[in-house]
Structure 1
Amino acid sequence: MATTATAGEVLFARYAYPPNELGYCGPADADAVLDVAAAAAGGMIERVQAFDGAVAYLEVIAAAAALPPLDPRVVEAYWVGNELLDRVDPAQFAKDIRVRFAGETGANWEVLAGGLPAVAHHSFQVFTVYPWVGLLGRGATNTAGGPALHILDRCRIRDGTVLAVEGDEVVVRSRPLTWSGRELGLGEPVEERARWAQAGRSLLAAVVPGDMVSLHWDWVCDRLTPEQRDELQRRTTDQLALTNAAAPVRQA
């Protein structure tokens, strides 16, 4: 008997599918995750444990909020941000995350050793736990950031405004991640292309010009309210400030 995806499962799948499609995380059956994201099937609960990085954060947020890990508010808190993040004790989270990701090569634990707060948001995973920030200084083109900057920019959840819809793709305006040679920042808005659907399956209902959306890798994940956009922007700029204050950003 077919099961129906819950709202939390659908929301999680919308954000988790883009890196899963690329093979960076999650189960091998990325098409099944896309089906959940398209609300065409259930079963995300059986697959979510394969997203071990995200699960660690969901469990921490859920425990602090006394909610299930796949409650929509918990899922939103991790990927976009909301008030549930403020219920997580930063000191305890810092201890937990170091244990859970002790084997992560290149993690920037200096952020925590210096006493800066750790927030259970996806941006913390991208800019602190993943190794890419430490690779920004490599090569002759320091200020360009190279492949590491591109990966950081695509891996973070970013907001944008839809300018045009062209089949399964959209043209959006968003602020790219920048690298000065010493610090990360956000540049002036530029146009980029992203997918919102693939072969008739989409991560959300049809988008229209003017929609404010969230993006992960080269996919549109969800439609954002003004409040959600502001929250995502605040969490992003706060994390960039913490990352920049952690050294300066490490030079390889």
Structure 2
Amino acid sequence: MATQTNGVGDLLRDWRARRRLSQLDLAGEADVSTRHLSFVESGRAAPSRDLLLRLAEPLALPLRERNRLLLAAGFAPLHPERSIDEPDMAAAKEVIGAVLRGHGPFPALAVDRHWNLVAANDAAGALLAGVDPALLAPPTNVLRASLHPDGLAPRIVNLAEWRHHLLARLRDDAERSGDPILFALHQELRALPAPASERPHGPTARIAVPLVIRDPASDMPLSFLSTTTVFGTAVDVTLAELTLECFYPANEETRRALQR
């Protein structure tokens, strides 16, 4: 569950608990005395900016949470946050567009930290044919559109295992980020109608969970393996939270169908 925290000491305790680190563990990693860390967490000592940044490293805080920690202690945030449409983000936006276009004719899309659609190539857009327009209204949440009965769910052949995979990934995202919106989304999607468990489909199921979906045009099953790409050197919050999801054909039949 997400924990409501305000002060810098509360935030540190919360993240330390999430990462399952004792005060001794965290103090050792950040090269600070356990006594001083205890004083910071209890509010008896004010941390320096340098100390907070040192503590953020072993806690593996997302950039957004590093800013939040600094603000809680009265310091200016370190990492900027810009809209992907701002001029300063033009180079990153071009990279995103190039990856999505270059991945065609296979589906690819970019999502933000809440799994809202930022951009998609034509192949990804085609797979969304038939989805209730209400689910595609901006901001389009791709997980909701995938698992909702009015979305892609009726066309996903292996819905039980794909649903399990997505919910497990969403839960991990929520726990890693501490984002209450992700916790709420996880609860919402878990409550949607779910099919009975079934065995994985196809030969790729022994190496990865495939997405097997019926083509809305031909009704043939298309099987995909997915990869996730992030900007590994991002110092902007928005860019660090952006994820590119690229789907590759898991068999020759799918490859030929998409190339046609």
Is TM-score (shorter-chain normalized) higher than 0.5?
no
TM-score (norm 1): 0.30
* Higher-strand-fraction structure: 1
TM-score (norm 2): 0.29
